[in-house]
Amino acid sequence: MKENMITLTIDGIETKVKEGTTILEAAKIAGIDIPTLCFLKDINEVGDCRMCIVEVEGRRGFTTSCITKVEEGMIVHTQTPAVNESREVMLDLILSNHPQDCLTCVRSGNCELQNLAKKFNKTEIEFTGVRYKKAKDDLSPSIVRDPEKCILCRRCVAACKKVQKIGAIDTVNRGFESCISTVGNLSLNDVNCTNCGQCIQACPVGALYEKPTTNEVWKKLRDPETYVVVQTAPAVRVALGEEFNMPIGTNVTGKMVTALKRLGFDKVFDTNTGADFTIMEEATEFITRVTSKGTLPMITSCSPGWVKYIEMNYPELLPHLSTCKSPHQMFGALVKTYFAQKEGIDPSKIYVVSVMPCIAKKFERQRDEMQNNGLYDVDNVITTRELAKMIKQANLEFTELEDSTFDNPMGEATGAAAIFGTTGGVMEAALRTAQDILTGKDLEKIDFEQVRGANGIKKATVNVNGKDFKVVAASGLANAQEIMEEIKSGKADYDFVEIMACPGGCVMGGGQPIKSSKIRREVDVRALRANALYSIDEKSTIRKSHQNPILKQIYKDYLKEPGGELAHKLLHTHYTARNKYNLK
């Protein structure tokens, strides 16, 4: 069906766009940049901040370009004196009630309000606002909320309510007392927050950020009595470079490893190795459930934000959840047992740091269930952003670093592990191994493209050894809710379900580099990062988890068999029903 095209004029430039396009998007197509602040494509399109106003001939007053659709023959002016004066007044009003601590703010240099102040050459603020003292909420293990820096753009609210369908935060009160808060103004630690961090990704300023823990890492690195091991998740290597102005989706594995070694870590390992163990255990668990008529569908448990979500919202469906720990928790357990024994190191002296794209893993690592022999599997979780800060603190010129490789004996991983970082990747990796186990053959078909892609829910039927398995991969908690409601109602006939809390998977995790609204309008960040992971997989010599030689050796020498007694003790766990409020 042919799409209707609209012709309009923007700042004297005749432009043709599809019917239904907003003035903001039409201007972008014409090469004209209209400033925005509250706008976030497909998430928050409400026109509250008024920074994107324009004048349209024949209309009285200003028009908000982010929500106004184009019309045939429309004549738009984006830079009239009246428009610019009004924008400056709105910007002054926002700045007048905002802390002037840019030098020490976590978002300095990557703040959309700061960028607007530069754009409008703001060296003075005309108005003096009344500033209300508001306490910082830092009780959550994952998220810090600083209400004094909030500009009431409501992007975080939209991400939480619309994208994730959680509603842990919302706008409360009216007038000058309006603010973003929780039910009863409780801490995020005491409400139905899943720690996914999508609110952080949406925030244009420093009102929301991850709970910082790099100081603890530095202390351990400087302690000669502590053996500090670091592991890095697959999604980190395709996003870290963005913090050093490299193109989105650049694979910086070699430079990342070098940087970590220069920071002083005793061993630099790859969480991808842990992902291979996860696949072995998960595929084995799935096959056991299928052959013994266990609880189906089996649902993956790699995403801690998702796990907390099901614990709070669908506790009756917890038997569907895989008992497998997430890859970095499995790897931490092996470091403090197998590796410690092999190297003759006292496990209590080992300090495991996980570099993750996910802030929910800060919550996950301190769960009581994530311990063995009185020791936590993982001692600290830092985000991709936090690692970048550590590299900058160490005065390393990241882009100039040479490439190096992960340490042995636990640094080898497969291509299957690399794709864990994108939605559908866990399922695809599991299917590669499950089909070989069920058939007893090394099958050539290893790409399950039917579970890949940008759709929030992807359903497919996969034939393995003559049997059809119905599978579904969902990313984003709103999509997870849809699948869970199907299962709860008894309408679902799936065998295997993969769920990631973050839309698009770990590549878009709450701990990844934050992209401005403008960049998110112009670039498919998820696709660029995901494609980089698929490229790593395609270039890998070994692309099936069960063929990882390191994994084979550890099972032979230590774990004995997937799903065995020791494997269950170290690599599996249990999950618990939670109240949505006053959580522990």
For 211-260, write each residue's pLDDT tens digit.
Answer: 999 999 999 999 999 999 999 999 999 999 999 999 999 999 999 999 99
Confirm if 510 and 386 have CB atoms less than 8 A apart. no
Establish if 580 belongs to a structural domain: no
Q: Are 125 and 96 in contact (CB under 8 A)?
A: yes
Domain annotation covers residue 318: yes
* Per-residue buried b or exposed e for 317-347, using 16+ beta carbons within 10 Å of the residue's own CB: ebebbbbbbbbbbbbbbbbbbbbbeeeebeb
Indicate if 285 belongs to the active site: yes
pLDDT, residue 1, reads: 58
Under 8 Å CB-to-CB from 19, ≥6 apart: which residues?
3, 4, 5, 6, 70
Query: How far apart are the C-alpha atoms of 177 and 185, rounded to whole Å?
Result: 13
Query: Looking at the structure, do residues 226 and 142 belong to the same domain, yes or no?
Result: no
Burial of 467 (0-12, 13-18, 19+ CB in 10 A): exposed
Decide if 334 contacts 277 (C-beta within 8 A). Answer: yes
Residue with tokens 């043709």: 16
Q: Has 153 been annotated as catalytic? A: no
Catalytic residue among 302, 324, 358, 502: 302
For residue 518, what is the domain's CATH number? 3.40.50.1780
Residues 198 and 229 in one domain: no
**Could you say which of 57, 71, 369, 561 is catalytic?**
369
Catalytic residue at 282?
Answer: yes
Q: Of 158, 190, 210, which residue is a domain's last?
A: 210
Is there a contact between 378 and 370 (Cβ–Cβ < 8 Å)? yes
Q: What's the pLDDT score for residue 584?
A: 44
Query: Do 414 and 298 lie in a common domain?
Result: yes
- Look up the pTM and report it: 0.95
Q: Are residues 175 and 302 in the same domain?
A: no
Distance CA 543, CA 536 (A): 10
User: At 538, is the secondary structure helix, strand, or coil?
Assistant: helix
User: 445 Cβ partners below 8 Å, 6+ apart?
Assistant: 435
Same structural domain, 219 and 295: yes
Catalytic one of 281, 506, 515, 545? 506
Give the pLDDT confidence of 174-186 residue by residue, as tens digits: 887 889 999 999 9
Of 24, 47, 79, the last residue of a domain is: 79
> Which residue out of 361, 362, 458, 544 is catalytically annotated?
361
| Token code pair at residue 21 | 């396009």
**Would residue 578 count as lying in a domain?**
no
Q: Within a domain: residue 84?
A: no
Among residues 25, 311, 364, 412, the one annotated as catalytic is 364
Query: What letter does residue 566 receive in the DSSP assignment?
Result: H
Read off the CATH number of the domain in which 189 is found: 3.30.70.20
364 is catalytic: yes
Same domain assignment for residues 220 and 185: no
pLDDT on residue 582: 57
CB atoms within 10 A of CB 57: 10
Q: Which of 65, 322, 475, 517 is catalytic?
A: 322
Tokens of 208: 């929301």
Q: Are residues 219 and 177 in the same domain?
A: no
In one-letter notation, the amino acid at residue 232 is: T
> How many separate domains does the chain show?
3
322 is known as an active-site residue = yes
d(CA 330, CA 274): 6
Two tokens at 228? 């500090």
Angle at 39 between CA 33 and CA 43, to 5 degrees: 130
Query: What value does the CA radius of gyration of the chain take, rounded to a whole number of Å?
Result: 25
265 in any annotated domain: yes
From the number of C-beta atoms within 10 Å of its C-beta (0-12, 13-18, 19+), residue 535 rates as middle
403 with 469, same domain: the answer is yes
Q: What stretch of H or E contains 139?
A: none
Residue 583 lies in a domain: no
What is the rounded distance in angstroms from the CA atom of residue 106 to the CA atom of residue 205? 9
Residue-range definition of the domain harbouring residue 168: 95-210
Domain shared by 275 and 394, yes or no: yes
Asked whether residue 119 falls in the same domain as residue 243, the answer is: no
Domain boundary among 48, 79, 110: 79
The reply to whether 413 falls in a domain is yes
Structure tokens given for 99: 């802390």
SS3 content of the chain, % helix, strand, coil (to 5): 40, 15, 45
Same domain as 448, residue 432: yes
Contact 263, 391 (CB under 8 A): yes
- The four Cα atoms 548, 345, 260, 368 give a dihedral, to 10 degrees, of 80
C-alpha to C-alpha distances, 28 to 16, 21, 76, 203, nearest whole angstrom: 12, 11, 13, 22
Nearest-angstrom CA–CA distance, 499 and 479 = 9
Say if residue 234 is exposed, middle or buried (CB neighbours under 10 Å; 0-12, 13-18, 19+): buried
Burial of 266 (0-12, 13-18, 19+ CB in 10 A): middle
Residue 506 annotated as catalytic: yes
271 with 330, same domain: the answer is yes
Decide if 90 is inside a domain. Answer: no
The overall longest dimension of the chain from CA atoms, in Å, is: 80
Is 449 one of the catalytic residues? no
Q: Are strands 63-64 and 467-475 parallel, antiparallel or unpaired?
A: unpaired
Which of 285, 311, 386, 412 is catalytic? The answer is: 285
Asked if 513 and 491 touch (Cβ cutoff 8 Å), the reply is no
Burial of 493 (0-12, 13-18, 19+ CB in 10 A): exposed
The count of other CB atoms within 10 Å of the CB of residue 556 is 10
H/E segment holding residue 542: none
Residue ranges of the chain with per-residue pLDDT less than 50? 583-584
